[in-house]
Amino acid sequence: QVEASGTLGLQPGSKLGALVEEGGRGRVLLVEDRAASAERLVASLSQSHTVDLAGEPDDALFRAATGGYDLVVISSALKGYDALRICSQIRSLERTRDLPILLLAEPDDRARIVRGLDLGVNDYLLRPVDRDELMARVRSQLRRKRYADRLREIMQASLQMAVTDPLTGLHNRRYLESHLGGLIDAAADGDKPLSLMILDIDHFKSVNDTYGHDAGDEVLKAFAERVKTVIRGVDVLCRLGGEEFIIVMPDTSLEVAGRVAERVRQSVGGTAFPIDKGGRHIPVTVSIGISERRNGREADAMMKRADRALYQSKALGRNRVSA
3-11, long-range: CB within 8 Å, 24+ apart, which pairs? 4/140, 4/143, 8/147
Nearest approach in angstroms of CB 1 to ligand GH3 is: 47
Angstrom CA distances, 117 to 5, 45, 112, stand at: 23, 23, 9
Q: Does 200 bind Mg ion (CB under 5 A)?
A: yes
Among residues 203, 210, 202, which one has the least CA distance to residue 275?
210
Nearest approach in angstroms of CB 146 to Mg ion is: 47
The amino acid occupying position 176 is L
By beta-carbon proximity to ligand GH3, the closer residue of 98 and 217 is 217
By beta-carbon proximity to ligand GH3, the closer residue of 217 and 251 is 217
Q: Where are the alpha helices (DSSP H) in the chain?
A: 2-7, 15-21, 35-45, 60-66, 83-92, 110-119, 131-162, 173-189, 204-211, 213-230, 254-269, 299-315
The yes-or-no answer on residue 243 being catalytic is yes
Cα-Cα-Cα-Cα dihedral sign, residues 30, 32, 37, 38 = positive
Nearest approach in angstroms of CB 244 to ligand GH3 is: 8
Partner that binds at residue 318, options ligand GH3, Mg ion, none, CB closer than 5 to 8 Å by kind: ligand GH3
Bridge partner residues of 292 (DSSP): 195
Nearest approach in angstroms of CB 203 to Mg ion is: 7
By beta-carbon proximity to ligand GH3, the closer residue of 297 and 308 is 308
Partner that binds at residue 213, options Mg ion, ligand GH3, none, CB closer than 5 to 8 Å by kind: ligand GH3
Nearest approach in angstroms of CB 279 to ligand GH3 is: 19
> What's the CA gap between 272 and 210, in Å, rounded?
16
Q: Does 219 bind Mg ion (CB under 5 A)?
A: no
Write phi, then psi, for 78 (nearest 5 degrees): -85, 145
For residue 160, count CB atoms less than 10 angstroms from its CB and return exposed for 0-12, middle for 13-18, buried for 19 or more.
exposed
- From the list 37-45, 162-170, 237-245, 274-282, the region that binds Mg ion by CB under 5 A is 237-245
Q: Which residue is nearest to ligand GH3 (CB)?
A: 216
Find out whether the peptide bond into 166 is cis, omega within 30 degrees of 0.
no
Q: Does 69 bind Mg ion (CB under 5 A)?
A: no
Residues near ligand GH3, by CB under 6 A:
167, 200-205, 208, 213, 216-217, 220, 242-243, 314, 318
> What's the CA gap between 179 and 163, in Å, rounded?
11
Partner that binds at residue 205, options Mg ion, ligand GH3, none, CB closer than 5 to 8 Å by kind: ligand GH3
Give me the catalytic one of 243, 244, 292, 298.
243
Write phi, then psi, for 77 (nearest 5 degrees): -115, 70
Partner that binds at residue 314, options Mg ion, ligand GH3, none, CB closer than 5 to 8 Å by kind: ligand GH3
Per the CB < 8 A criterion, the answer to whether 221 and 243 are in contact is no
By beta-carbon proximity to Mg ion, the closer residue of 68 and 241 is 241
> What's the CA gap between 247 and 233, in Å, rounded?
11
Contact pick of 175, 204, 245, 273 for Mg ion (by CB under 5 A): 204
Nearest approach in angstroms of CB 215 to ligand GH3 is: 7
The residue ranges that bind Mg ion (CB under 5 A) are: 200-201, 204, 243-244
Residues annotated as part of the active site = 243
